[in-house]
Each structure stands twice: as structure tokens, then as C-alpha cells.
Amino acid sequence: MDVDSDYFVTFTNLIAIIIQSIHTIMKTKIKEQFKSRFGEDGILFVAPGRFNLIGEHTDYNGGFVFPGAIDKFIMAEIKPNGTDKVRVYSIDIDEYVEFGLNEEDAPSQQWARYIFGVCREIIKRGGEVKGFDAVFAGNVPLGAGLSSSAALESCFANALNELFNDNKFPKMELAKIGQSTEHNYCGVNCGIMDQFASVHGKKDNLMRLDCRSGEFEYFPFKLDGYKLVLVDSRVKHELVDSPYNKRRESCERVAATLGVETLRDADMAMLDAAKDKVSAEDYNRAKYVIEEKQRVLDVCDALNRGDYDTVGRCMYGTHEGMSKLYEVSCEELDYLNDVAKECGVTGSRIMGGGFGGCTVNLVKDELYDNFIATVTRKFNERYGHEPKIYPVIVSDGARRYEEQ
Ligand code: GLA
């Protein structure tokens, strides 16, 4: 073993130890709260947030996405309580809520509606949910575009599947339960990517999902000589009430005009032929989606060849499209992208729905420290606060929590 690989093994071990200690601290807090509120022990479940290498706003257009689960997660302790009431305490928000399981029992607190929605969606699919007690906490930053809400939905969907339904719902159905929760109880007409990634995530693997057929493949993910890092602008990205739903409507309008089910079945020739039948704005939205669909496939091929320059070029292409055509960027995210370019970063782009949150950056090992120092300093000088930096650690999906 040479010095480099020795160093790598030590570094990997160190990360595993840090992740384990974060788990332990969170677990201890949750167990203490659960015991003091409900007097006994429940079962622990976890589910992660996600990042996405490429393929934004393609999921609800029947296209491809390329996400992975990250090392930030929601952890919940849960136990059936023999009543018809759910009693749940959020440690981070420091709020306790009780609700029944019928449609008219919907709680008003946004965070509790995610859990209520999951219960209702399981029941609607013929599953069973009875009363339970729960305490949960998490470290997925809120509003950073890392899918804290999908983590919460997946954590409860997976837990209630095990506790009340003998795991009869397959994983993809759990993802759909989370997605329908967003549609029917939270007002966000999202695609399937976030919940899919949170449920199916696998350590050191990305997943290329075909959102039309639901087929996916794991992609062993190891970067040679590069790192992936998220830079969080800390501009709160909030999809509820954001123009997110409007973007989806634009795509659906264009698809209807072209006579296809989704933009997956459209190409630039079709779009150009219908240019005078759609608004200029809708044209741009659809152009972005059609181009992004191809970029995901190009990135997968490029990764197979170890061609990081192409991966990076596609990432910048996505940023440009999301900023100029899809118009889901903001000044801070465009600035982060400019600084990345100045620092020689191989690829950089807005990640997730947009309107704030993070950029994802593919950086050569030797440029990494300089990039982090420069982007932190320059962003702070301009906006009066430092961005947050999250190295990407690709992790496992929703599961019952087992001590490692
Ligand atoms: C949000 C949605 C996803 C997806 C992304 C954009 O995260 O929840 O379904 O549309 O935006 O790619």
C-alpha cells in the first residue's frame, strides 16, 4: 500500500467515525426525549437528504436524474401506542403535535403535515396505520435544497411500512407515498427524484433513474483526483409557494401543444417547429428541459470514461440553462458559479429546484483548498455572510437504524 492509499484509508475511516458520532449524539438526544415523554423505548429509523449530480427539473418531465443520498439525515424513534392518535415531537422545532388519522384531522403545522400526509397516503393505498408516538431530529439543513422534507417523508414511510404493514410496500411505492404527500398535503407539485433518492440511496453509489419507466441503475461512484462539494448560499429555498409549480405548468403546456405526454418525448426540432404556438417564456423552459435530458446521459457516459472535463462542461451548461432559460437562479447562486469559474473549478451549477440553496461543484484535488477559501471570502465580502460548505459523502438510503 502506498502513502496515498494509506492516507485515503485513514481519511475514509475518519469520516466514518465522525458520521458515527453524529448518529450517536442524535440518537441519545432522541432516546432521552422519547423516554421522558412516552415512558418507554421505540424503534429508531433514519432517512437521508439527497444531492444530484445532474438532471434538474427533468423528473416531472419524464426524463433522467442522477442523484445520490448524502450523509445528512432525519432520525426518528417510533412506537405504536395502541390508540388512534399520532403524538409526535420535533426536537429541532421544539414543538409537540397530536393528530388523528382521518382526512379532517390534518394538523396546521407544516412539519407535521409531512407526517400526516405519509399516514394518509399509506391508508389511501390500502395500507394500515394506527396511532403511534414519535420523536425526531435531523441535520439536513432546512431550505438548502437538500430535501429535508423528502428525508422526513421517507423516514416515516419506511418506518410505518415496517411497523404496520409487514413491509408490503416496495421501495418505489414508498417514494411515491412521499411524493403524493407533497402534492396533496404540502402544495408542491414535485417530481419523484428526492423521495426516490432518499429511499433507494446506497453508500458510494449514484443512481441514474429514468423517471418515465421508473427503471434505475446504481452507478459506483468514486472520483479520481477530484472532490464534490456543495456550497450553500444560505438563501432560503422554499418550494412551497415558489414558482416551482409554474415551471411545471409551462412544461405541461408545451407538451400538450406538441402532442406528447411529457417533454421526454420532445426534441429541439419539434419545439422549433411549434415556436409560434408557444410563448417565448414557455419555449425557453422547454428548451432547457430538452437540453438537460441529454446532459444527464452525456455525464453518465463521460463518467464511465473518466472524462471529468465533459462532466464539468455539462454542469456549467446546466447552470447556464437554469439561470437564463428556466430562470430558477438568483444573484447569489450566479455569483457562486462565477467564482467557481474564476477558481478553475471543473464543473459548478445550481443544485435542486433552485430559487436559493446550494451549488454543487466538481473540483480538482489540488484546487480544492483555494476554491473553498476564495469562495468563502468573496461571498462574505459581497453578501455579508459566509456560505456553508458541505463535502458530498454518498450514503445509504432510508432504513431501520442499526448501530455500525
Ligand atoms: C425539487 C423537487 C424535485 C425536482 C427538483 C429539480 O427538489 O422536489 O422533484 O424537480 O426540485 O430537479
Beta pairing, strands 358-364 & 67-80: unpaired
Nearest partner of 329 among 316, 341, 313, 342, judged by Cα: 316
Domain boundary residue among 194, 220, 246? 220
Catalytic-residue membership of 194: yes
Task: Determine if ligand 1 sits within 6 Å of the CB of residue 59.
Answer: yes
Under DSSP, the state recorded for 345 is -
Task: Determine if ligand 1 sits within 6 Å of the CB of residue 178.
Answer: no
Q: So what's the pLDDT on residue 15? A: 73
Q: Determine, yes or no, domain membership for 273.
A: yes
Tell me the pLDDT tens digit for each residue of 86-99.
999 999 999 999 99
Domain of 27: which CATH number? 3.30.230.10
What is the residue with the minimal CA distance to atom 11 of ligand 1? 353
**Whether residue 213 sits in one domain with residue 151:** yes
Q: Determine, yes or no, domain membership for 401.
A: no
Q: So what's the pLDDT on residue 58? A: 98
**Whether residue 325 sits in one domain with residue 294:** yes
Question: Above 80 in pLDDT, residue 2?
Answer: no
Question: Which atom, in ligand 1's list, is nearest to the CA of 239?
Answer: 1
**Whether residue 183 sits in one domain with residue 133:** yes
Task: Determine if ligand 1 sits within 6 Å of the CB of residue 292.
Answer: no
Q: Determine, yes or no, domain membership for 403.
A: no
**Whether residue 237 sits in one domain with residue 366:** yes
Q: What percent of the chain has pLDDT over 70?
A: 96
Select from 190, 288, 295 the residue to mutate for testing ligand 1; criterion: most ligand atoms less than 8 Å from CB. Answer: 190
- As a whole number of angstroms, the distance between CA 383 and CA 173 comes to 42
Of the pLDDT bands very low, low, confident and very high (cuts 50, 70, 90), residue 175 is: very high
Distance between Cα 52 and ligand 1 center (Å): 10
Task: Determine if ligand 1 sits within 6 Å of the CB of residue 334.
Answer: no
Mean pLDDT of 71-90: 98
Tell me the pLDDT tens digit for each residue of 279-299.
999 999 999 999 999 999 999
**Whether residue 62 sits in one domain with residue 188:** yes
Distance between Cα 32 and ligand 1 center (Å): 35
- Taking 3-state DSSP, the helix, strand and coil percentages for the chain, each rounded to the nearest 5, stand at 50, 20, 30
pTM of the model: 0.94
Cα distances from 225 to residues 16, 207, 219, 315, 368, in angstroms, run 20, 21, 18, 18, 10
**Whether residue 272 sits in one domain with residue 148:** no
**Which residue range forms the structural domain that includes residue 237?**
226-391
**Whether residue 319 sits in one domain with residue 193:** no
Cα distances from 107 to residues 99, 115, 184, 361, in angstroms, run 6, 10, 14, 39
What is the residue with the minimal CA distance to atom 5 of ligand 1? 353
Q: Determine, yes or no, domain membership for 195.
A: yes
Q: Determine, yes or no, domain membership for 400.
A: no
Domain boundary residue among 157, 188, 220? 220
Task: Determine if ligand 1 sits within 6 Å of the CB of residue 357.
Answer: no
Question: Which atom, in ligand 1's list, is nearest to the CA of 55?
Answer: 12
* One-character DSSP codes across 59-75: GGGT-EE-EEEEEEEEE
**Whether residue 210 sits in one domain with residue 255:** no
- As a whole number of angstroms, the distance between CA 48 and CA 397 comes to 6
Q: Determine, yes or no, domain membership for 399.
A: no
Distance between Cα 163 and ligand 1 center (Å): 29
Tell me the pLDDT tens digit for each residue of 210-254.
999 999 999 998 898 999 999 999 998 766 567 899 999 999 999
Tell me the pLDDT tens digit for each residue of 256-271.
999 999 999 999 999 9
Q: So what's the pLDDT on residue 1? A: 43
Domain of 293: which CATH number? 3.30.70.890
Give the dihedral sign, CA 138/226/236/172. Answer: negative
Give me the catalytic one of 59, 194, 232, 334. Answer: 194
Of the pLDDT bands very low, low, confident and very high (cuts 50, 70, 90), residue 22 is: confident
**Whether residue 347 sits in one domain with residue 323:** yes
Neighbours of 93 (CB within 10 A): 15
The number of distinct structural domains making up the chain is 2
Domain boundary residue among 220, 245, 262? 220
**Whether residue 203 sits in one domain with residue 342:** no
Question: Which atom, in ligand 1's list, is nearest to the CA of 60?
Answer: 10
Q: So what's the pLDDT on residue 53? A: 98
Taking all residues of the chain, what is their mean pLDDT, rounded to a whole number?
94
Neighbours of 159 (CB within 10 A): 27
Question: Which atom, in ligand 1's list, is nearest to the CA of 182?
Answer: 8
**Whether residue 57 sits in one domain with residue 195:** yes
Question: Above 70 in pLDDT, residue 5?
Answer: no
Question: Which atom, in ligand 1's list, is nearest to the CA of 147?
Answer: 7
Distance between Cα 58 and ligand 1 center (Å): 8
Map residue 134 onto helix, strand or coil.
strand
Question: Above 70 in pLDDT, residue 63?
Answer: yes
Neighbours of 382 (CB within 10 A): 12
Q: What percent of the chain has pLDDT over 90?
A: 89
**Whether residue 242 sits in one domain with residue 175:** no
Q: Determine, yes or no, domain membership for 145.
A: yes
Select from 50, 52, 57 the residue to mutate for testing ligand 1; criterion: most ligand atoms less than 8 Å from CB. Answer: 57
Q: Determine, yes or no, domain membership for 236.
A: yes
Tell me the pLDDT tens digit for each residue of 133-174.
999 999 999 888 999 999 999 999 999 999 999 999 999 999
